[in-house]
Amino acid sequence: MASSLVPSTAAAASGNGRRPLVSFSSSLSSSAAPLLRRRAAAAVPLLRPRSRRSPSKICAKIREIFMPALSSTMTEGKIVSWVKSEGDRLSKGESVVVVESDKADMDVETFYDGILAAIVVSEGQSAPVGAPIGLLAETEEEIAEARARAQSQGQAPPPSPPSPPPPPPPPAAAVAAPPVQAIEKPAVAAGPKSTVLTPYAKKLAKQYKVDVASIVGTGPYGRVTPSDVEAAAGIVPKVAASSPPPSSPAVVATAAAVAPAPKAAPPAAPAPPIPGATVVPFTTMQAAVSKNMVESLSVPTFRVGYPVKTDALDALYEKVKPKGVTMTVLLAKAAAMALAQHPVVNSTCKDGKSFTYNSSINIAVAVAIDGGLITPVLQDADKFDIYLLSQRWKELVGKARAKQLQPSEYNSGTFTLSNLGMFGVDRFDAILPPGQGAIMAVGASKPTVVADADGFFSVKNKMLVNVTADHRIIYGADLAAFLQAFAKIVENPDSLTL
């Protein structure tokens, strides 16, 4: 049976503040697209009918909602929030749940009418790809059966709070224990400044004619939920049928009133010190980065450094900076032009037995975001001028920080650029991303004393560029020739403006 929850990428425009909707039927320009389509067609339908128990009873009305595979590297997903509550009726096209993949948060919508009978995986919890995360029923009579089925699928009751250890034997006279200070939790980092709505919340805002800019979102990262829109419109929201999630017990200490201690009573023993180390589990994004870095260890790599004069590039940057062009775009454009001259550096080896000359030059640029690292991709960077690339780059960075990138916008790179020059870093080595042939690490441009052919000294700005490459397909001479071409373009940057 066709799946009931079908994510769709068609509605993921960054300008309207809407989170991407995933679709296995959408066409991804990355190399992972065939794998995603195979998974969707063969192994991971999001909803499937329960098995038949008897010929006289139709058992296809309760469907399992599955954790979708949102990218080729995704093995598990995290539930950011349930847009709907247990007992809510669903209409075709409504968002049901927000899932965090390894790089982005994506809404999943339903293509069926029904009732969200049971939530199997709660908000903040993770589940493997293909595991059931909820149950969808067609009629109210099936809700009780669906909830019983959800409990039988391994929903263990929440653990009871641990009982406190028995107090130590009191001394000769009891002494009032000092109050335990509550540990203040660090404030959660603020999310994106732009107003982010779920598709259903946007639909309600349009229906009730509510100004979304005036709504304060209560969802993750300030996300505006349907209940926020209903509250702004003066509509009393329906009370959710589900029971509230269990909360962690708070430690509260109060000083007990005791009898005055005799003067000869010994002092109380000091409390044991609180350990300072804290174990923090990986987020979904950190786990994906860790997996990719470990995978890179299996590739034999080598590194080549090259000094590049940047006086002419710095002058060009000052000229085009008022037009919105960034240094990142200038370096990406220069790298793309050099890759066009040396396509082997843009090639890929995935099986260790052959390699592929990529037909497109897609420059992935490392960007640090809250909680991890992501590489938005400037696709076909050699075919567009620096002004169009700058406009596209601004859009990609905005979507990356709002966690709204499509998979094809962060996993389709054929060459990666990592720039730490803005931090004053002289040089560094970058780890080769899986599925690529090379990555360029760019250091800061600094004044350097140089001598010309006639023996005269002068001061020139120079930056050191280090490239890490897959030695199975790229050799030292290949990388040296590429770096020479890159340096020639940077030192004579007129071609960047063509």
Same structural domain, 422 and 486: yes
Task: Report how many domains make up the chain.
Answer: 3
Q: Domain check: are 450 and 305 in the same one?
A: yes
User: How many whole angstroms separate alpha carbon 11 and alpha carbon 402?
Assistant: 16
pLDDT in tens, 308-338: 999 999 999 999 999 999 999 999 999 999 9
CB neighbourhood size of 459 (10 A): 10
Residue 21 lies in a domain: no
What's the rounded Cα separation, in Å, for the pair 201 and 228?
8
CATH number at residue 457: 3.30.559.10
pLDDT tens column, 413-431: 999 999 999 999 999 999 9
Last residue of a domain, one of 122, 153, 184: 153
Contact in structure between 375 and 393 (CB atoms under 8 Å): no
Co-location of 343 and 423 in the same domain: yes
Catalytic site residue from 50, 427, 460, 471: 471
In this structure, the answer to whether residues 372 and 223 fall within a common structural domain is no
Q: Is pLDDT of 2 > 50?
A: no
329 and 221 fall within a common domain: no
**Does residue 248 form part of some domain?**
no
Q: Are residues 141 and 224 in the same domain?
A: no
Same domain, 149 and 218: no
Strand ranges in 190-318 using DSSP code E only, listed in sequence order: 301-309
Which letter does DSSP use for residue 398 in this model?
A: H
In a domain, 78, yes or no: yes
Give residue 354's pLDDT: 93
**Co-location of 300 and 448 in the same domain:** yes
Q: Does the predicted TM-score (pTM) go above 0.85?
A: no
Same domain, 342 and 472: yes
- The verdict on residue 272 lying in a domain is no
Domain end, chosen from 189, 209, 228, is at 228
| Residue 321 shares a structural domain with residue 430 | yes
CATH number of the domain at 84, please: 2.40.50.100
User: Which domain, by its residues, includes 375?
Assistant: 294-496
**Is 342 one of the catalytic residues?**
no
223 and 95 share one domain: no
Q: Is residue 122 a part of any domain in this protein?
A: yes
- Residue 350 domain-assigned? yes
- Per residue in 139-176, pLDDT (tens digit) is 777 787 777 777 776 544 444 445 555 555 555 444 44
> Do 120 and 219 reside in the same domain of the chain?
no
Closest among 353, 408, 363, 369 to 384, alpha carbons compared = 363
